Amino acid sequence: MIPSTTPEAWEDDEVATLGGNDLIRDVVLFLGVLLLINQARSLQHVGRQVLAHIIMPPSFPRNQEFGNLV
């Protein structure tokens, strides 16, 4: 789209694009941030489980003297 050359037309273009689009953009960005936070929490939980299995796999032999180490 070719921009208009008069300042009045620029103001009209700005008003037309700043109406509801900013609200929609802000809501979409907010939901995106919430989704990223949720994904980070899920990955953190999975990472802890993987790390726990690396340190002490489920098939790790248990020492009866100390009981279950998990």
Res 64 pLDDT > 70: no
Inter-CA distances, 7 with 11, 14, 26, 65, Å: 6, 11, 28, 85
Residue 10 scores a pLDDT above 60: no
Supply the pTM of this predicted model.
Answer: 0.45
Sign of the torsion formed by the C-alpha atoms of 42, 45, 47 and 53 = negative
- Using one digit for the tens of pLDDT, what is the confidence trace for 25-50? 899 999 999 999 999 988 888 888 88
Tokens, residue 64: 């009866």
CA distances from residue 30 to 10, 18, 22, 23, 48 in whole angstroms, order as listed: 29, 18, 12, 10, 27
